[in-house]
């Protein structure tokens, strides 16, 4: 599942907001608490804890990291791996295109999709709109 929006801000501004996860609750209602679990710079292997309404608390680990361009992180639970993607790219008309994605894999992925697809769609759309409004202020 993916959603994209164009943000009238440079990638560096959006990137800084994405990595400042402790402030995510300020610009999206889909996260009520967030914190990095590891000190230091953002890198592959860095972990975070997010609390989300209806989804509870989960630990995410960065699996791919390309500074000011993209990062993906994964959450592992019994029978399913969920990967969240955050990609920034130049927009042809100016600004930056943000693409957010959520993908599930593993033996229980189909059941997770069946149970959470509507909520997931609402959450990633809300997050994209919230980040756009936050970065365009």
Number of domains within the chain: 1
How far apart CA 117 and CA 91 sit, in angstroms, is 28
Query: pLDDT tens digits for 66-111?
Result: 999 999 999 999 999 999 999 999 999 899 999 999 999 999 999 9
- Say if residue 40 is exposed, middle or buried (CB neighbours under 10 Å; 0-12, 13-18, 19+): exposed
- Say if residue 39 is exposed, middle or buried (CB neighbours under 10 Å; 0-12, 13-18, 19+): exposed
pTM over 0.85: yes
List the CATH number of the domain containing 122.
Answer: 3.30.530.20
Closest CA to 82 of 121, 112, 38: 112
Determine the structural domain holding residue 27 and report its residue range. 20-136
Query: pLDDT tens digits for 44-70?
Result: 999 999 999 999 999 999 999 999 999
How far apart CA 10 and CA 97 sit, in angstroms, is 10
In a domain, 14, yes or no: no
């Amino acid at each position: 599942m993916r959603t994209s929006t164009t943000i009238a801000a440079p990638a560096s501004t959006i990137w800084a907001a994405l990595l400042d996860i402790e402030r995510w609750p300020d610009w999206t209602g889909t996260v009520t608490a967030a914190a990095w679990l590891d000190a230091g710079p953002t890198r592959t292997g860095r972990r975070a804890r997010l609390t989300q309404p209806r989804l509870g608390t989960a630990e995410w680990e960065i699996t791919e990291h390309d500074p000011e361009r993209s990062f993906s992180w994964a959450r592992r639970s019994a029978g399913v791996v969920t990967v969240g993607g955050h990609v920034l790219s130049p927009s042809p008309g100016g600004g930056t295109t943000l693409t957010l994605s959520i993908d599930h894999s593993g033996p229980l992925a189909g059941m997770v999709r069946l149970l959470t697809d509507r909520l997931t769609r609402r959450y990633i759309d809300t997050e994209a709109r919230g980040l756009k409004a936050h970065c365009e202020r």
